[in-house]
């Protein structure tokens, strides 16, 4: 059988990084390859990083016989460079908004400040000895930011006698595992230092399923995996928020409100589920121990959920119970600000579950979907009745067969 090796492969000596010592790193340093940032300090979910290898840069993946070809099977580079937001993550740092944020925080230039590049241009934080010449010019969130440094597996991964498991053993990240995938994305997509937010950075809110569709995907997932991706993603988002709050001596009310809203949602989802542990608000006041406890619970919850099979029936039943929250939200004596934070987590949940249940679709979304998103205006202008009306309309629309649309 002929082996199809990419041209670039010949640039690298075979097995160059074999036998590197195994290291245990926190998932964050494993993902972001940096040592000093706020983000890297989490100790919780550990991964074993096999031969850590060097970064080869996305040019190493783009040959037309590899991932830069025209056919669906070889078009990953083209999808990424032409459509994926990550291919302009660095360019964002030179726009006016970034300049304003950097000015406010006295960071100098955003495009070279580690406070920004850690997420927007992650190879800047990598030790130079781990960058090949081609990778030195890599600016964006590129292939290896998600798939892991490739030198150790670049040569082998095209061999027909290598299975997916062989590739993963060689150091390619197991992104087919939704827990690993969620950990990869969330490292850049949930926690943001409070001063960045105050300086005008958009708020980050991680949601694995919808954001994968929006990326857009350059891969095919099991069509039945949407609800699970959504749930694993939400658990991992909550774990990160819990971790962030557990480290703060004086967490601000807004961050606690965002955290409580997600606990509220996951409480609704996990109530009565026999295959999952209940995620619920602690009895008594919310204190640091509540966040530490929630971090541990959501991590094992996410890990276990990634191994379950949660198909259309789960999606449909969960969707039903979430849509039934309409009345609770209407009658709740909680402040509108609290309802807003709940709504912010509820809307993507309902949309992802409706899609997973086959009642809505990303390629031809129901018009009411846009309206319910629209009704989620910024906190200051959130109007509970308008939101609830839009939610009711979406619910009503979902009961119609696609043919009625
Ligand atoms: C924790 C990771 C992280 C850090 C640190 C970070 N960003 Fe971002 N940034 C993101 C993500 C993720 C988005 C996309 C958010 C969205 O659109 O929902 C984003 C979006 C943005 C946007 C809006 C995008 C656009 O198209 O206009 C700007 C501007 C921006 N970041 C600038 C900065 C600057 C400047 C810094 C440093 C002061 C910084 N970011 C630090 C993750 C980060
Ligand atoms: C933001 C994260 C991210 C970036 C950046 C990224 N990928 Fe992926 N990629 C994924 C995920 C998640 C999957 C799905 C899991 C899988 O199939 O292994 C995937 C799957 C793939 C697959 C398998 C396709 C299939 O249908 O099974 C290939 C090949 C691939 N990526 C190549 C690339 C290349 C080449 C680049 C750079 C041009 C790249 N990826 C950039 C996250 C990323
Ligand atoms: C190394 C950091 C990093 C990783 C890992 C990462 N992203 Fe991003 N992502 C960013 C930054 C920075 C932006 C903002 C870029 C822009 O606005 O153009 C962004 C933007 C996006 C956007 C567009 C804005 C939005 O939120 O709708 C989507 C969708 C997205 N990422 C999905 C994902 C998914 C899915 C994964 C995991 C498979 C992932 N990202 C992994 C840093 C990252």
For the segment 221-242, the average pLDDT, to the nearest whole number, is 97
Of 195, 321, 215, residue with least CA distance to 255: 195
Q: What is the pLDDT of residue 405?
A: 53
- Residue 256 Cβ inside 6 Å of ligand 1? The answer reads no
Q: What percent of the chain clears pLDDT 90, i.e. is strictly above it?
A: 78
Domain residue ranges of the chain, discontinuous segments joined by +: 1-177, 205-405
- Say whether 26 sits in a helix, a strand or coil: strand
Nearest atom within ligand 3 for CA of residue 212:
35
Do 6 and 66 contact (CB within 8 A), yes or no?
Answer: yes
C-alpha–C-alpha distance, residues 333 and 388, integer Å: 15
Dist. CA 96–CA 78, nearest whole Å: 28
Report the C-alpha gap between 152 and 150 in whole angstroms.
Answer: 5
CA distance 131 to 150: 11
Q: What is the structure's pLDDT at 46?
A: 39
pLDDT digit string, tens, across residues 113-169: 999 999 999 999 999 999 999 999 999 999 999 999 999 899 889 898 999 999 999
CA dist 305 and 229 (Å) reads: 9
Ligand 2 atom nearest to CA at 219: 26
Ligand found nearest the CA of 200:
1
Whole-number Å distance, alpha carbon 394 to ligand 1 midpoint, is: 31
Ligand nearest to the CA of 167: 2
pLDDT at 23: 29
Q: Please give the distance, rounded to the nearest whole angstrom, from the Cα atom of residue 159 to the centre of ligand 3.
A: 30
What's the chain's average pLDDT? 87
Q: How confident is the model at residue 20 (pLDDT cuts 50, 70, 90)?
A: very low
**SS3 assignment for 57-108:** CHHHHCCCCCCCCCCHHHCHHHHHHHHCHHHHCCHHHHCHHHHHHHHHCCCC
- Reading the block at residue 103, the tokens are 């000015």
Residue 9 or residue 199, greater confidence: 199
Question: How far does residue 121's CA lie from ligand 1's centre (Å)?
Answer: 11
Distance 40 CA to ligand 3 centre (A): 18
What's this model's pTM, rounded to 2 decimal places? Answer: 0.90
The pLDDT score that the predictor gives to residue 48 is: 42
Question: What pLDDT score does 380 carry?
Answer: 83
Average pLDDT in the 268-291 region?
A: 94
Residue 47: the pLDDT is 43
Ligand 1 atom closest to residue 199's alpha carbon, by position in its atom list: 38
Q: Average of pLDDT values for 308-327?
A: 96
* Mean pLDDT lowest among 164-173, 193-202, 371-380: 371-380
């Amino acid at each position: 059988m002929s082996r199809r090796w990419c041209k670039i492969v010949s640039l690298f000596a075979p097995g160059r990084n074999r036998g590197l010592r195994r290291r245990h790193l926190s998932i964050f340093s494993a993902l972001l390859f940096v040592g000093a940032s706020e983000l890297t300090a989490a100790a919780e979910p550990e991964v074993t990083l096999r031969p850590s290898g060097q970064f080869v840069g996305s040019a190493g993946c783009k040959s037309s016989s590899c991932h830069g070809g025209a056919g669906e099977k070889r078009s990953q580079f083209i999808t990424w460079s032409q459509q994926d937001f990550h291919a302009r993550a660095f360019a964002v740092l030179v726009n006016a908004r970034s300049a304003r944020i950097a000015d406010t925080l006295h960071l100098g230039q955003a495009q070279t400040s580690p406070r920004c590049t850690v997420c927007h241009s992650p190879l800047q934080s990598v030790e130079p000895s781990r960058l090949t010449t081609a990778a030195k010019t890599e600016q964006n969130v590129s292939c290896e930011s998600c798939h892991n440094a490739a030198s150790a597996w670049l040569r082998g991964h095209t061999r027909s006698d290598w299975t997916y498991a062989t590739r993963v053993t060689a150091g390619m990240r197991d992104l087919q595992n939704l827990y690993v995938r969620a950990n990869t994305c969330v490292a850049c997509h949930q926690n943001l230092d409070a001063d960045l937010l105050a300086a005008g950075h958009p708020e980050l809110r991680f949601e694995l399923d919808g954001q994968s569709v929006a990326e857009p995907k350059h891969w095919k997932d099991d069509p039945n995996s949407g609800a699970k991706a959504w749930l694993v993603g939400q658990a991992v988002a909550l774990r990160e928020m819990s971790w962030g709050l557990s480290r703060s001596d004086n967490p601000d009310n807004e961050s606690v409100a965002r955290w409580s809203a997600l606990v509220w949602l996951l409480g609704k989802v996990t109530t009565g589920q026999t295959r999952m542990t209940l995620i619920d608000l602690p009895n008594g006041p919310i204190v640091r121990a509540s966040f530490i406890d929630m971090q541990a619970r959501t991590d094992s919850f996410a890990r276990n959920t990634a191994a379950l099979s949660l198909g259309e029936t789960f999606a449909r039943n969960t969707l039903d119970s979430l849509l039934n929250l309409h009345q609770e939200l209407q009658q709740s004596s909680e402040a509108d600000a609290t309802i807003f934070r709940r709504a912010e987590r509820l809307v993507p949940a309902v949309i992802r579950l409706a899609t997973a249940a086959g009642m809505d679709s990303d390629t031809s979304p129901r018009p009411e979907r846009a309206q319910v998103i629209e009704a989620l205006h910024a906190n200051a202008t959130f109007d509970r009745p308008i939101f609830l009306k839009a939610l009711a309309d979406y619910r009503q629309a979902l009961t119609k067969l696609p043919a009625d649309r």
